Amino acid sequence: MKAIPLWRSLTLLLAASQAYAAGSVTLTETSHEYILDNGIVTARVAKASGDLTSLRYEGREMLATFLNEDGTPDLDRDPPGYNPNGLNPRMTDHQYGFWSHDAMGPADTAPTIPTVTIDPADNDGQRAEVSVKGIAEGRLMGTGPGASPDGDFAADIEIRYALGEGDSGVYTYCIFEHPEDYPASTIAEARFCAKLNGFFDWMSLADHLDLYFPKELHTGDKYIFTAVQWENPAFGWSSTTEQVGFYLLNPTTEYLSGGPTKVEFLGHRDTNRVSAPCVLNYWRSSHYGGAEVSVDKGEHWSKVVGPFMLYVNQGDGHAEMYADAKAQQQKEQQKWPYDWVQDAPYANDGARGAVEGKLVLRDKVEPDSRMKNVLVGLTAPAYTSSNPVAHGRTVTWQTDAKHYQFWVQADADGSFTIPKVTPSRYTLHAIADGVMGEFQRADITVEPGKTLDLGQLAWTPVRHGRQVWEIGIPNRNGSEFYGAEDYADPEISLRYPKAFPDDVHYVIGQSDFHEDWFFQHVPYNEDPEAKAMPYRGIVGEGRATPYTIEFDLGKAPAGTATLRLAICGTGTQRLNIAVNDQPVETLDDLPTDGVITRHGTQGIWYQREVAFDASRLHQGKNTLTLTVPAGPINNGLIYDYLRLELDERPTH
């Protein structure tokens, strides 16, 4: 390992360069940058920040760099972080590829520490890796969205880039470390972003988000281009004119937040600048309920985000290049964890363990129930947030970005193996289509090099008596309800009054939730001037909206009835509930997540149960009414699933 002395990062007058290796991979150092080259790609890394200032593939510049007025890259401009006077290396804007929490920090009091961590001269030109590290030293690091001008997070930050022989792309990862003597701190937005050359005009984020998107196409609202991260580990852009592609490949999602249901930005066009195509790897955001990283004073915390690959290719059309990127992601997944990652708090393959078992569904009320799409994961145990503004909120796997998570899809019979798990203590979770709630088992300890066999795990779903009726499918989203196929339409909420002029009246045994239950339960718009605004959803107020559920009972019941609501999108904090026109409950302080404002069908999933005396029901026709209060049209709910249960056992 060759450590670059501090004086080099301050002396930016040096013009000479040094080549570290001859052969397949070469590494060249100048006064202000590292240049990694393997004959396929050439990557330039700014020593002053850790930014990827250029990535050339087969002679083409793939990144935006700084753009001319016509949107073409300005390749003559000095790279960011380079100042011949050596005074103020920070530029006012990022283009190219960068981490929101770069190694420079918002002030210039502490220079970065550039280092060669893998010298290709030592491995016959097989691999090069460079590091740019920033020491906080009383500063806050990071300049991303939500950060103050004085910085965001108290942690040392090290950014690395690696290039191997024959690689069609470069790897990057970021190491965060909060020593015990650093102050308590909370991360705002945190991600890697690559802004691409203007010739990229086809965006491929998911199978349903695969479209021609030239700079002339102004959609106005980037939130229509979000997708589930866990389901889409390969995503990016291609060019219909140059026939090249740029894709971000996550070999694992263990370092991302929110588990397998997290909806996030993967890419869009940066309409605030010169319409540059963007690729984004968010590992902590506030979108759709967000996630959290809060660290206490006296707590040592570290996390390695990545490595992931910035993959470039060429092919005959966008479909071929996207398919090739997906195939390469599978290869990267098989290589994970990468054995070339050294000198970092990163568990290599031999230091990891595995957990296996078989989930067996045992529903005592509905013994013929079946589960599909079973997802099983190991996560940190739920904990109380130390962020003062969170007011003691419980952080679960859906809202955690501080720790690693390991999720797999089980076989059709419920069997699963979770491989390559970093040793620690975890809680095992399982969710499945067709089953309300989730399975949990605490105190799972993973040890290095060992496989923990849990055997058969009986999953007994919670029941409060016999099932009277159900609406929807328990699948953690509202996709099965009417209108959900058009969820990305920014004006979808305004269609409710047209589709249901007399509000929803759902008759059990007659109605079909695919056609008779609107997927957004929102205030009923009566304002002809109401309209959709980018990032703000619908601007306008609506009246209270009742959803009425009608059902028949063969006899007057006794005991306790329980309404169970599974909710997957929240804009309102209140829901009023009445039985046979008599109020029984008002749910308050519901956790808002912006899903309706930002055009989704799923955000933070949670349950609410309302138990009431079954004597409120009677023989024959009954009604149960859910009412969203009057207010802004965004302030509604998206239901995952609804069920009424009846326990007729004596209460004493």
Q: What is the pLDDT of residues 276-320, one digit of tens each?
A: 899 999 999 999 999 999 999 999 999 999 999 999 999 999 999
**Domain segments of the chain: what residues?**
2-335, 349-459, 466-647
* CA 200 to each of CA 234, 243, 278, 622: distance values in angstroms, whole numbers, following the listed order: 16, 9, 10, 58
Residue type, 636: G
Second-level CATH architecture of 349-459: Sandwich (2.60)
Q: What is the pLDDT of residues 207-262, one digit of tens each?
A: 999 999 998 877 778 899 999 999 999 999 999 999 999 999 999 999 999 999 99
Assigned token pair, 609: 């149960």
Residue 634 has pLDDT above 90, yes or no: yes
β-strands 545-553, 620-628 pairing? antiparallel
The pLDDT, as a whole number, for residue 389 is: 83
**What is the number of H-type helices and E-type strands within the chain?**
4, 47
What share of residues in the chain are helix, strand, coil (percent, to 5)? 10, 45, 45
362 CA to centre of own chain:
32
Assigned token pair, 417: 């193996």
Phi, psi of 593 (to 5 degrees): -140, 5
537: left (phi over 0), alpha (psi -120 to 50) or beta: left
Compute the average pLDDT of residues 382-395. 90
127: three-class secondary structure by DSSP: strand
DSSP letters, 187-241, are --SEEEEEEB-TT--EEEEETTEEEE--TT---S-GGGGEEETTT-SEEEEE-TT
Contact partners, residue 597, CB within 8 Å, separation at least 6: 535, 536, 537, 571, 634
End-to-end CA distance of the chain: 74
What would you report as the CA-atom Rg of the chain, rounded to the nearest whole angstrom? 27
Q: What percent of the chain has pLDDT over 90?
A: 82
Compute the average pLDDT of residues 128-146. 90
The pLDDT, as a whole number, for residue 85 is: 32
92 CA to centre of own chain:
27
Distance CA 310, CA 249 (A): 6
Nearest 5°: CA angle at 383, between 381 and 389? 150
Residue written as tokens 């609406």?
Answer: 471
Fold of 466-647: Jelly Rolls (2.60.120)
Give the Cβ contact number of residue 39 at 10 Å. 12
The pLDDT, as a whole number, for residue 650 is: 75
Compute the average pLDDT of residues 124-147. 91
Q: Among 237, 234, 258, 254, which residue's Cα sits nearest to residue 246?
A: 237
Q: What is the pLDDT of residues 138-184, one digit of tens each?
A: 899 988 777 888 889 999 999 999 999 999 999 999 999 999 999 99
Contact partners, residue 19, CB within 8 Å, separation at least 6: 26, 27, 28
Reported confidence tier of residue 463, pLDDT bands at 50, 70, 90: very high
Phi, psi of 328 (to 5 degrees): -65, -35
Give the Cβ contact number of residue 177 at 10 Å. 19
Residue 73 has pLDDT above 70, yes or no: no
Q: Among 157, 107, 159, which residue's Cα sits nearest to residue 134?
A: 157
The pLDDT, as a whole number, for residue 3 is: 43
Q: What is the pLDDT of residues 83-109, one digit of tens each?
A: 333 333 344 456 689 999 999 877 666
Compute the average pLDDT of residues 324-349. 95
β-strands 26-29, 33-37 pairing? antiparallel
Please, is 93 exposed, middle or buried when counting C-beta atoms within 10 Å of its C-beta (0-12, 13-18, 19+)?
A: exposed
The pLDDT, as a whole number, for residue 640 is: 98
Assigned token pair, 422: 């970093």
Contact partners, residue 511, CB within 8 Å, separation at least 6: 517
Using CA atoms of 578, 579, 582, 583 in order, give the dihedral in degrees to the nearest 10. -30
The pLDDT, as a whole number, for residue 94 is: 63
The pLDDT, as a whole number, for residue 138 is: 87
**What DSSP element (H or E) covers 318?**
helix 318-335
DSSP letters, 496-534, are HHHH-TT--EEETTT--HHHHSBS-B-PEE--TT-EEET
Q: Which residue has the higher pLDDT, 651 or 636?
A: 636
Reported confidence tier of residue 647, pLDDT bands at 50, 70, 90: very high
Reported confidence tier of residue 10, pLDDT bands at 50, 70, 90: very low
Residue 350 has pLDDT above 70, yes or no: yes
Write the CATH number of the domain with boundaries 2-335: 2.70.98.10
